Structure 1
Amino acid sequence: MSTLNIALPETLQAFVEEQASAQGYEGEADYVRELIRREQDRETLRAKVLEGAQSPLGPPADDAYFDELRARAIRGQ
């Protein structure tokens, strides 16, 4: 694992320390890593939403659509 050193104003450093402690992280680095992972997840989700918005429309998601999905799941398809 590589190391990244960052300088934070005292107010941000205090915030990170408080959050790490309050949320049960082993240390500030674990808390910051989790923030970065969340941002990666957010970016991935955003990309998928944009991809979906640009795709052609599918069938309507009505009762018949979900009935067919259930039937396919039961058949193992």
Structure 2
Amino acid sequence: MRSTQQFSITLPNEMADSVRAKVASGEYATESEVIRDGLRALLARDKAMDAWLREQVIPAARALEADPAQALSLEQAQERLTSRRRARNVPNPV
């Protein structure tokens, strides 16, 4: 049994050019390797998002349901975000 499957895909010109450039630069040996690496990155992002939702968002939502008084007002949330940005020295996007 084969451990791979062949696909035919269509990419916008800009993406196709990027794939070819990765191969031409020597960063990847084939176009398939570029696509596989991109898919691995997508799967890793999905896995990280699932973990974040499971480990942080769902428990926070449940805690808020149990005690709505712990919710922040819009102004409080904005103040927290602003102070976190300042602590990290990130400019305010507004």
Q: Name the TM-score class by shorter chain.
A: 0.5 to 0.7
TM-score where L is the length of structure 2: 0.52
Moved over 3 A (4+): none
User: What stretches of structure 2 of length at least 5 have no aligned partner?
Assistant: 64-94
**Deviation sequence 1:3-38 (CA, Å, 0-9, x none):** 111122433222211023336211111010000000
**Partner amino acid for 1:27?**
T
Shift of 1:45: 0.3
Structure 2 counterparts to residues 32-71 of structure 1, below 5 A: 32-53=35-56, 54-55=58-59
* Equivalenced residues, count: 57
Give, in whole Å, the separation in 2 of the partners of 1:32 and 1:8: 11
TM-score where L is the length of structure 1: 0.61
User: SS at the partner of 1:45?
Assistant: helix
User: % of aligned pairs identical?
Assistant: 18
Greater length-normalized contact order (CA 8 Å, ≥ 6 residues apart): 1
> For the aligned residues, what is the CA RMSD?
2.1
2:32 equivalent among 29, 32, 37: 29
**What's 2:81 paired with?**
none
Judging changes above 3 Å, is the alpha-carbon distance between structure 1 residues 23 and 44 closer, same or farther for their aligned structure 2 residues? farther
Maintained 8 Å contact 1:21/1:27: no
